[in-house]
Amino acid sequence: MDDKKNKLNILEDTYFPEIARGLKTTIRHFLYNLTHQEQMPTISYPEEKRKIPECYRGKHRLTVREDETPKCVACFLCATACPADCIKIEAGEYAGGGNEKYPVKYEIDLLRCVFCGLCVEACPCDAIRMDTGEYDLADYTRDKLILKKEDLMMKDLPDRSKENIKGSRK
């Protein structure tokens, strides 16, 4: 081992040359971005929304039939498949008889949800989807981030989501 080869001189030992090189790079990028603002990869959020891909998993929604009832038959497969245990369902039966059930209570706790999409994959009725295109899920209280059945049952996608999502699952 050659100790003279690995030995640093006094200037290199203080790290000043490397600090100066780093500052030079930072100042060069700052001045370039200051004079070429039209090439900056930024968007003016929230006035301008980011285009999201078709496969994006956003806020959940329950699909509805023509008579405004949920397609969900309360089979509990979505709640069983959920690794975060954030879906709570209470089942009930229709008064007219028949074998079909419906969810009396359907809640998704977005604070616990990991947006994995396993609930969508497990649903045999295509009753739950994550294609709303909403990605700004924030609020001031925890209660507003627990979505109830009424919150989840949207007849159609919001206007802003229609323009962001090119093709939702049919």
Task: List the chain domain ranges.
Answer: 3-38, 61-164
Q: Are 94 and 104 in contact (CB under 8 A)?
A: no
Question: Which residue type occupies 104?
Answer: V
Token digits for 140?
Answer: 């001031």
Higher pLDDT: 111 or 10? It is 111
Kindly report, residue by residue over 62-105, the tens digit of the pLDDT. Answer: 999 888 889 999 999 999 999 999 999 999 998 876 778 899 99
C-alpha to C-alpha distances, 13 to 23, 71, 96, nearest whole angstrom:
18, 70, 85
pLDDT higher at 88 or 155: 88
Sheet holding 101-109, edge to edge: 87-93, 101-109, 146-147
Q: 104-133: per-residue pLDDT in tens?
A: 999 999 999 999 999 999 999 999 999 888
Cα–Cα distance measured from residue 108 to residue 86, given in angstroms and rounded to the nearest whole number: 6
pLDDT band of residue 165 (cuts 50, 70, 90) is: very low
Q: How confident is the model at residue 9 (pLDDT cuts 50, 70, 90)?
A: confident
Backbone φ, ψ for residue 143 (5° rounding): -65, -30
Phi, psi for residue 32 in degrees, rounded to 5: -65, -45
* pTM beyond 0.85, yes or no: no
pLDDT digits (tens, 9 = 90+) for 37-57: 888 878 888 888 888 888 889
Distance CA 105, CA 123 (A): 17
Of 163 and 59, more confident = 59
Average pLDDT, the chain: 85
* pLDDT for position 160: 38
What CATH code would you report for 61-164?
Answer: 3.30.70.3270
Structure-model confidence comparison of residues 13 and 28, the more confident one? 28
Per cent of the chain over pLDDT 70 is 88
Report the alpha-carbon distance of residue 64 to residue 125 in Å, rounded: 11
The pLDDT of residue 169: 41
